[in-house]
Chains A and B, each alone.
Chain A
Amino acid sequence: MNQSLTASTRNSHVSPSDGIPNLDAAGFETRVMQGLGPIAVEFMSYSCAYCAAMEPVLQQVAETLRSRERIFRVNVAVELGLAGRYEIEGTPTLIMFSDGQEVGRAEGPDPDVATILAVVAEPFGIE
């Protein structure tokens, strides 16, 4: 198996060509709830075609904002508790956090770079 996979941490992992770590409930607590600075979380599911359309766009946005904001992914098909806790009604849903508090949310945004960049950066005043 790919070394980057075997070296992945227990509660989050990054695919070989993936700049967005997946979080489970424990990873969410440590990296989002206790995380500092601007954080965006995409609540998604691999079976969701809209999430698939969003994927390359989000990768690009994550690369663009790398030094100013962190972006994570939570799979709602696996993390049902997190989906319930944040009242996720569907996918993709982007929630922006600051110091563990939700400061913005977007459900089903258009999957283009300008829109997603605006959605994830706007709550933090990032340009």
Chain B
Amino acid sequence: MMDSDIARVGSTQSTPILLFDDECAVCRRMAGWVRSVARNAIGERTIDVRPIGEDPEALRKLDPTLDIWKVYAKSHLLMPDGTVLIAGEAVAEVLRRSPGMAWCAWLFSVRVFGMRPFQGLLDLGYVILSDVRPIFGCKSCGAPALWARPFVWMVKTTKRLTGAKPRAPHRANFTPLVATSDPKPQSQPRPK
């Protein structure tokens, strides 16, 4: 884990910090995507993407209001001015700060009769993606939401019919210690 890295940054960070769940394969892929797109014209990162880790105190050193359980539940983006954006709001800000995605990011600020309809859609999309993560093999993400369970069943049935290698049977309320079927990328030795 990179808890020490999290703690070291503290409030002196000049770029936002996106905290992601390193145990969730879907979240790791999203984090990898953000790392690739959130760069300015000279290739500097515009967002610092960091795993949440397992140290509540390291998180509180970043921001005393952070509760590690809540940070694992939803994406948190720590802004340099001390504000914390959560879930769909964090996604919108990530898009705003990703030069390649800025073309769509302005939509999330559009107001119609005081409402932000596109931000609302983004929030809904965030909830849907969050709820369906177990379908994509995230065993640490808990049970799929009720509405997503038919889809989980469809995915499992399709895989069984197509002869795909079955995953270990799911045990209620229990996260196996080998949490993901998608192995974490191993760090490569630096070339000399």
Contacts and interface: CB of A to CB of B under 8 A. Distances in A.
B175 A49 contact: yes
B177 A47 contact: no
A53 B140 CA distance: 12
B57 interface: yes
Nearest to B142: A49
A112 to B, nearest CB: 10
B79 interface: no
A13 B175 CA distance: 24
A45 interface: yes
Nearest to B55: A78
Contact of A47 (B21, B56, B172, B174): B21
Interface in A54-104: 54-55, 75-78, 83, 88-92
Given A49-B141, A50-B173, A108-B173, A55 B64 contact: no
A51 B55 CA distance: 15
Contacts of A89: 176-177
Residue from B57, B171, B176 having most chain A Cβ neighbours under 10 A = B57
B61 interface: yes
A41 B52 CA distance: 24
A118 interface: no
B41 to A, nearest CB: 35
A5 interface: yes
Nearest to A5: B57
Interface string B33-65: 000000000000000000010111100110010
Given A1-B61, A77-B1, A47 B179 contact: yes
B23 A76 contact: no
27 contacts: A1-B61, A2-B64, A5-B57, A13-B57, A45-B23, A45-B54, A45-B140, A46-B54, A47-B21, A47-B24, A47-B54, A47-B179, A48-B140, A48-B179, A49-B72, A49-B143, A50-B142, A50-B174, A52-B69, A52-B72, A78-B54, A83-B177, A91-B174, A91-B177, A107-B174, A108-B171, A108-B173
Interface of A: 1-2, 5, 13, 15, 45-55, 75-78, 83, 88-92, 107-111
Top-6 shortest CB links A-B: A49-B142, A108-B174, A108-B173, A47-B23, A48-B175, A90-B176
